[in-house]
């Protein structure tokens, strides 16, 4: 029983990280049709903001609160200067985002001197519950993710701006004819995606360490999540992210079943995540959660 609770907690914790990373990608890919290959570096910028706050002697938690706004503003700038010109050419847009990502990554690498930095979590250590030890920061991440996802979903489905965003995507001409400023909406959407990435980076950096390659580590898994969940909705890729995020520790735990550990090494378990996801995409090419939409 203890093991099961621990398993659920560990799976939820890592799935939350993945969901946070994927959510920003989902907003931009699903609502704007742009595959942001620089997404990993937006995550990195969020983490770097926290690092800067620490270097300036400001509280780390403050850096985490500010990071989404910093990265969101940066995203809005990128949209206005680059992405806006490329909506008609999605492949070029993809290459452009890749280039932007590369520039960010190498600048950050220079700024931190190619080093790795451990960032302390604002709330560290663990707490005991029923004889099991839980990481405080992972618990915070789970709650922050749930709250953020609910807020983002409410914004997109319940708010007037959210309705306009979805409308502008479905039929830009009609949206413009109805008096909706689509360029402004695209800026807002892109900034929102970037802000979510910034939040993801800021919250997860204490679990790992800050390095220029922090975002790259997650990018492939994040895109796999988008494929798995399907493009077109916000929920689809996010659910895909949850699945990929659950599989990473999940497959490692599968090795607890007698006989499995001998067959599946931890290295294999990582590979299995990709194999499983690719098999699912093979049978559901539009993603698991896109049925009946678009």
Partner 1 sequence: MRSNDSMTRRGFLRGSSALAAAGWTAAGAGWVLKPTWANAAGSIKMGIATDITGAIAPSGNANWQAAQLAVKQINDAGGILGKPVELFLEDTASDPGTAVGNVRRLVQSAQVDVILGGITSAMREAIKNPIVRRGKTLYIYPQLYEGQECTEHLYCTGPTPAQQCARLLPYLINEKGYKRFALPSANYIWPQLLNKWARRVIEENGAEVVMEEYFPLDQLEYSATVGKIMSEGVDHVFNTVIPPGLQAFMKQLYEAGYYDKGGQTCVYFDENSVNYVAARELEGVYSCLDMFHTIDDAYSAQLISEYDALFPDTKYLFSAGSAATGMYRGVKLYEQAVLATNGDLARDATSAAMENAAIKEGPGGPSRIIPGTGHAEMNMYIAQSRGGKWDIISSETTVPPQECA
Q: What is the DSSP letter of 255?
A: T
Nearer to partner 1 by Cβ, of 31 and 212: the residue is: 212
How many CA atoms, within 13 angstroms, populate the side-chain half-sphere of residue 229?
A: 30
Cα(202)–Cα(104) distance, integer angstroms: 16
Nearest approach, Cβ of 1 to partner 1 (angstroms)? 12
* Nearer to partner 1 among residue 88 and residue 128 (C-beta): 128
In eight-state DSSP terms, residue 14 is H
| 180 and 1 Cβ atoms separated by less than 8 Å | no
Stated as kind and residue range, the H or E segment containing 132 is strand 132-135
Q: How far is the CB of 133 from partner 1 (least distance, A)?
A: 4
Secondary structure (3-state) at 128? strand
CB of 266 to partner 1, least distance (A): 5
- CA-CA distance, 40 to 193, in Å (whole number)? 12
Nearer to partner 1, 199 or 210 (CB): 210
Closer residue to partner 1 (CB): 96 or 246: 246
The dihedral region occupied by 245, where left means phi > 0, alpha psi between -120 and 50, and beta the remainder, is alpha
Angle at 226 between CA 224 and CA 228, to 5 degrees: 70
Using CB under 8 A, list all residues that contact partner 1: 3, 6-7, 10, 13-14, 55, 107, 109-116, 118, 120, 125-126, 128, 133-136, 138, 207-209, 211, 217, 248-249, 252-253, 255-256, 265-267, 270
Closer to partner 1 at the Cβ: 138 or 166? 138
Nearer to partner 1 by Cβ, of 170 and 256: the residue is 256
Q: How far is the CB of 152 from partner 1 (least distance, A)?
A: 24
> Minimum distance from CB of 262 to partner 1 (Å)?
11
How many CB atoms are closer than 10 A to CB 114?
A: 10
Closest CB 184 distance from partner 1, rounded Å: 34
């Amino acid at each position: 029983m203890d093991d099961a609770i621990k398993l659920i907690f560990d799976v939820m914790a890592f799935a939350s990280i993945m969901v946070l990373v994927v959510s920003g990608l989902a907003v931009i890919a699903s609502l704007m049709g742009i595959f942001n290959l620089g997404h990993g570096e937006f995550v990195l910028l969020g983490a770097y903001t926290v690092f800067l706050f620490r270097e300036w002697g400001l509280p780390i938690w403050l850096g985490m609160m500010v990071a989404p706004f910093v990265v969101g503003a940066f995203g809005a700038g990128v949209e206005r200067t680059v992405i806006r010109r490329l909506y008609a050419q999605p492949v070029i847009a993809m290459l452009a985002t890749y280039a932007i990502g590369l520039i960010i990554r190498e600048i950050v690498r220079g700024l931190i001197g190619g080093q790795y930095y451990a960032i302390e979590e604002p709330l560290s250590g663990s707490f005991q519950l029923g004889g099991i030890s839980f990481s405080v920061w992972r618990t915070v991440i789970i709650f922050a993710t749930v709250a953020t996802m609910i807020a983002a979903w409410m914004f997109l489905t319940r708010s007037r701006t959210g309705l306009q965003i979805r409308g502008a995507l479905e039929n830009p001409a009609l949206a413009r004819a109805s008096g909706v400023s689509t360029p402004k909406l695209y800026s807002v959407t892109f900034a929102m995606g970037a802000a979510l990435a910034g939040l993801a980076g800021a919250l997860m950096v204490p679990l790992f360490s800050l390095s220029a390659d922090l975002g790259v580590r997650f990018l492939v898994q994040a895109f796999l999540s988008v494929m798995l969940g399907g493009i077109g909705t916000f929920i689809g890729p996010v659910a895909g992210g949850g699945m990929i995020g659950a599989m990473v520790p999940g497959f490692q735990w599968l090795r607890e079943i007698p006989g499995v550990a001998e067959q599946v090494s931890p290295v294999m378990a990582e590979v299995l995540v990709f194999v499983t996801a690719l098999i699912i995409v093979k049978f559901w090419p539009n993603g698991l959660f896109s049925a009946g939409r678009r």
